[in-house]
Amino acid sequence: MTHVSVAKDSVPAADELVVLSSVNKHFGALHVLQDIDLTITRGEVLVVIGPSGSGKSTLCRTINRLETIDSGSITIDGKALPAEGKALARLRADVGMVFQSFNLFAHKTVLENVTLGQLKVRRTDKKAAEKKARELLDRVGVASQADKYPAQLSGGQQQRVAIARALAMGPKVMLFDEPTSALDPEMINEVLEVMQQLARDGMTMVVVTHEMGFARSAANRVVFMADGRIVEEATPDQFFSNPRSDRAKDFLSKILHH
């Protein structure tokens, strides 16, 4: 296994955007992230897969500091993650996150959902924020839904609004944690297509997913996690045709044959 590790005082290479070095995290006695070294370069699409409980969500959540870490370091664009306050709010804007559950504000319209962060965190003026929101809603194919409330939309539409909301902040990297797992089958593709387009447009993305078709076609690299460790890193071709570890072989045989 080749892991790039970066000493704390070294200057990151220009194409390194997110760097995790020796990251450890416990939940009580559970060592949920174990010595994670992971570098995500600009424009890269990294797919994270692994069995339930392996630490995939926790990994994502540490990258925008929804979870703190016990040791090690995480930098975004060469800067350590801020601990709190305005700097943390800006970090969260730089690191867009889309969850399995859509997490839209239920009592705000679609348009308001996509303008709110721009107004509050980015201090964009209202007219510009609405213009940008409408452009993004158009880009994800829900422009006609702008004045509705989330509950009036299908799951696939809500998830596309959630993507637009994250994009409205002008993030440097987008994290997706099983964005299609809560969707009815017929809505999965419309969300994956938006993500595919985002990948083609050069967005840096970390995607936790069980959608192997997406992993094969959009990922530059696959990371396989088990028991809080990165067990394997490979190109999608290498990983799917020739997984090296028994854990990965076992996992793939289960998900590809059900």
Q: What are the residues binding ligand ATP (CB under 6 A)? A: 27, 30, 32, 50, 52-58
C-alpha dihedral sign at 92, 212, 233, 195: negative
Both tokens assigned to 125:
């003026």
Distance CA 70, CA 138 (A): 42
CB of residue 53 vs ligand ATP: minimum separation in angstroms?
4
Q: Which is nearer to Mg ion, 117 or 228 (CB)?
A: 228
Q: Which is nearer to Mg ion, 97 or 133 (CB)?
A: 97
Determine, following the binding rule CB under 5 A, whether residue 21 of this chain makes contact with Mg ion. Answer: no
Determine, following the binding rule CB under 5 A, whether residue 57 of this chain makes contact with Mg ion. Answer: yes
Which of ligand ATP, Mg ion, none sits in contact with 2, Cβ below 5 to 8 A by type? none
Q: Where are the beta strands (DSSP E) in 28-81?
A: 30-41, 45-49, 71-76, 79-80
CB of residue 86 vs Mg ion: minimum separation in angstroms?
29
Which of ligand ATP, Mg ion, none sits in contact with 27, Cβ below 5 to 8 A by type? ligand ATP
Tokens 């500091």 sit on residue: 65
Q: Which is nearer to ligand ATP, 109 or 209 (CB)?
A: 209
DSSP code of residue 235? -
Q: Which is nearer to Mg ion, 57 or 158 (CB)?
A: 57
Q: Which one, of 207, 205, 216, lies nearest residue 252 by Cα?
A: 216
Determine, following the binding rule CB under 5 A, whether residue 180 of this chain makes contact with Mg ion. Answer: no
CB of residue 66 vs Mg ion: minimum separation in angstroms?
12
**Cα separations (Å) of 258 from 210, 217, 253, 254, 255?**
12, 20, 9, 6, 6
Contacting positions for Mg ion (CB under 5 A): 57
